[in-house]
Amino acid sequence: MEISISDSNISLFFDKFSFIYGKDRSQKPAVSNISFNLKEGEVLILAGSSGSGKSTISFAMNGMIPWRIKGFAKGDVQVFGKSIWDYDFMELSKTVGLVKQNPLEQLVTFTVKDEIAFGLENLKYPEGEIEDRIKNIAEFMGISHLLDRDIDQLSGGQKQLTILSSFLVMDPKILILDEPIAFLDQNSESLLLDRLKKLVESKYHNLTLVIIEHRLSRVIDIADKIIILRDDGKIALMGDVNKVLRENFNQLRNCNVRVPWLYNIFDHYGNRAHPASFTEALKLIETLNKNQLHKLKQILIDNEIKPIHLNKFSDFDEIIEFENLYIESLKDQISEQDNGQNGKPKEERIILETKNLSFEYPNTDIKAIQNLTIKIKDGDFIGLIGPNGSGKTTLLYLLAGLYEPVFGEIFYKDQNISDLDQYEYAKKIGFIFQNPESMIFKSTIKDELLYGPRNFNIEDQIKDDYLFKLVNLIGNESPDKNPSNLSWGQKRRLNLSSVFIYNPDIILLDEPFIGQDQKTIEELIETLFIENKRGKTIIISSHDYHLLLKYTKKIMELNEDGTLRDYDLNGNYFTRHQNLGPILLLDKINQQLSQKDG
């Protein structure tokens, strides 16, 4: 039956809502004076820098505030005309589904099928209907092949799809997705966005959708409205998504959101009418003359393919200022081996090597890594890519010595790591886990930062000014703050700082960009770039291919079965695999230039 939506049919209504966490009224509000409304069936993007209050607003939508999270609130929040204070929490949670940023927080059973069935079983749906709903939603989400899989055998992206399916199967009226594509590979991301688009366009669903997302370019096509929050938890911009993005570019950038790269390119170019889509951009290129094409090409290369702003870190003869980064000068910190002695090139040395490496999870036939033979040079900066479930995280665990191979060997500087003292090898490895909370052990930021140095008996080598620069990398926070009260993005930066502080040889990062605003990503990348220039070997596993294109030097790609698909040693992976917008745009420009030269 087709359902019509009237203008008065408001699903969400915020009226001057403010909230302070905890018991101290004198604390700064997490959000202040939030007012907006959404009609049934509308899609809202909620964006802003890390810690700007996006999650707080989502907690107020589904009743976590006030029923599970305590604090001081002003104003009102209404769901379908009824204040959240007048709802029963269970009633509200059935109406409003919240898929959190970290899928591990919401997984409660042992298999994918049981996870999807969990809510329906609690509500005592008939067994036959439960089976039908699970089958339909699994097919819709493309995870039918995972239904019998154990939860702990899933990749981060597969867990994300499972959690989302467990909410959609309940048929909520409002669904909130906190960075839903963060853990997904390109195919799963496209599948999810396609399914969400079909849901919101369906004549038979009145789903109101709220998407909390940093990567605006991936979700603007399905959204009606957008709200951008300032750092102080107030609304900076609000309105029609296309109008806000087209007319407020500089303000968007000042709010630290990841502005769609096309808007960024054409803003540098000086084109006031930013192309709203890639297709529009391709058509615009066809109208440019030769000089204009050369100008646009250089802007594209300097900003999206080989960022020119990193060139300032290549000249070690000058003292380099890093503003609010943790290092102020590299002049006395660059080791002789970085540039070689007396101008001689640094001798290339293999720091990590695998031979016929294989791994499968105990009591399963799931082969996460198969017959992997690779060599990683000292000082490499590698992007590790592959579909969900291809073994990227498993490979990092193996290289870190946290898993033992089922077959094959791993060597660190020609020594089998199984023969090394594990305590000493741990000093050489800095591992940033996919879930930032899994590597936070202490009750204050300062103690967390000093956790590694204390374990390795080097605390006396850590200077106070260096320690507090690392605190500043996390944000404007007190060293005595409990890390559990940090945002996801801030926890991720704490993880990075806690690794940098003990100066390992190798830094392994599993999805480090999740939950990060534009400014923080730039700071993290510059920090990693500097560490790489100082001789660190860095491997980043990420689904954010755009960032890997811009910043890494080599790409290693795994197949879905854990075998090696490609290992580009010359920095040309993305030019050979033309699957990213900037490369496709560059090709179009080059084609137009060839035609004009001809």
Q: What is the pLDDT of residues 160-192, one digit of tens each?
A: 889 889 988 988 899 999 888 877 787 778 878
pLDDT > 90 in the chain, percent: 41
Mean pLDDT in residue range 433-461? 88
pLDDT band at 204 (very low <50, low <70, confident <90, very high): low
Distance of CA 416 to the CA centre of its chain: 33
pLDDT of residue 553: 85
pTM for this prediction? 0.78
Mean pLDDT across 225-243: 93
Query: Strand, coil or helix: what is 143?
Result: coil
Indicate whether 73 pLDDT > 80: yes
∠259-478-500 over CA atoms, to 5°? Answer: 70
pLDDT confidence of 272, banded at 50, 70, 90? low
Most confidently modeled range among 4-13, 353-362, 488-497:
353-362
Domains 10-259 and 350-562 share a fold: yes
- On the question of pLDDT at 48 being above 80, the answer is yes
3-class DSSP state for residue 372? Answer: strand
Q: How confident is the model at residue 141 (pLDDT cuts 50, 70, 90)?
A: confident
SS3 215: strand
Average pLDDT on 386-399 reads 92
Say if residue 344's pLDDT is above 50.
no
Which of the four pLDDT bands, split at 50, 70 and 90, describes residue 66?
confident
- Cα gap 380→355, rounded to integer Å: 19
Q: Which residues contact 45 (CB under 8 A, 6 or more apart)?
A: 211, 212, 213, 216, 219, 220, 223, 225, 226, 227, 241
DSSP-derived pairing of the beta strands 10-21 and 31-39: antiparallel
Query: Where is pLDDT greater, at 564 or 535?
Result: 564
Q: Which of 527, 525, 561, 247 is nearest to 392 (CA)?
A: 561
- What tokens were used for 515? 């939950």
| pLDDT computed for residue 598 by the predictor | 63
Which pLDDT score, from 0 to 100, does residue 477 have? 85
Residue 350, pLDDT score: 94
Of 149, 153, 85, the C-alpha closest to 114 is 149
Q: Which amino acid is at 143?
A: I
CA distance 405 to 402: 10
What does the block give as tokens for 379? 């000082």
β-pairing, 43-48 vs 31-39, is unpaired
Is the pLDDT at 359 greater than 80, yes or no?
yes
Distance between CA 458 and CA 502 in Å, rounded?
8
One-letter amino acid at 104 equals: L
Residues 367/369/371/373 CA torsion (nearest 10 deg): 180
Q: Is the pLDDT of residue 243 over 80?
A: yes
**Rounded distance, CA 168 to CA 141, Å?**
10
- Asked if the model's pLDDT at residue 488 lies above 80, the reply is no
| CATH architecture of the domain with range 10-259 | 3-Layer(aba) Sandwich (3.40)
Peptide bond into 66 cis (omega under 30): yes
DSSP state of 29: P
Summarize the confidence of residues 382-396 as an average pLDDT. Answer: 91
Using alpha carbons only, how large is the chain's radius of gyration in Å? 25
**pLDDT above 90: residue 398:** yes
Q: Confidence class of residue 343 from pLDDT cuts 50, 70 and 90?
A: very low
> Range with the lowest mean pLDDT among 60-64, 385-389, 391-395, 448-452?
385-389
* Helix residue ranges, H only, 421-487: 422-428, 445-449, 451-455, 464-474
Q: Confidence band (pLDDT; 50, 70, 90) for 4?
A: very low
Question: What pLDDT does 206 receive?
Answer: 78
CA 537, CA 531: separation in Å to the nearest integer? 8
Q: What is the pLDDT of residue 308?
A: 83
The predicted structure's pLDDT at residue 580: 84
Cα separation, 480 vs 207, whole angstroms? 43
Distance CA 323, CA 530 (A): 14
Highest mean pLDDT (candidates 68-72, 201-205, 212-216): 68-72
Contact (CB, 8 A) for 220 and 43: no
Which pLDDT band holds residue 472 (cuts at 50, 70, 90)?
Answer: confident
Using CB atoms within 10 Å of the CB of residue 341, give its burial: 0 to 12 exposed, 13 to 18 middle, 19+ buried.
exposed
Residues 81-103: pLDDT tens digits?
A: 999 999 988 888 889 998 887 76
Q: Tell me the pLDDT of the chain averaged across its residues.
A: 84
What is the reported pLDDT for 522? Answer: 79
The sheet that has 225-229: what strands, in order across it?
A: 96-99, 174-178, 208-212, 43-48, 225-229, 235-240
What residue spans define the domains of the chain? Answer: 10-259, 350-562
**pLDDT at site 330:** 40
Domain 350-562 superfamily per CATH: P-loop containing nucleotide triphosphate hydrolases (3.40.50.300)
Question: What per-residue confidence (pLDDT) applies to 315?
Answer: 52
Residue 31: its H or E element:
strand 31-39
As beta bridge partners, residue 360 has 367
Residue 534 has pLDDT above 90, yes or no: no
State the pLDDT confidence band at 382, using cuts at 50, 70 and 90: very high
- The values of phi and psi at residue 468, to 5°, are -75, -20
Structure tokens at 148: 């019998």
The residues, any chain, with a CB within 8 Å of residue 58's CB and separated by 6 or more, are 46, 98, 176, 178, 210, 212
User: Residue 147 — pLDDT band, cuts 50, 70, 90?
Assistant: very high
- DSSP three-state, residue 556: strand
pLDDT at 436 over 80: no
Flag whether pLDDT at 324 surpasses 50: no
pLDDT over 70 percentage in the chain: 91
Of the pLDDT bands very low, low, confident and very high (cuts 50, 70, 90), residue 340 is very low
313 or 560, greater pLDDT:
560
CA 588 – CA 214 distance, rounded (Å): 28
On the question of pLDDT at 326 being above 70, the answer is no
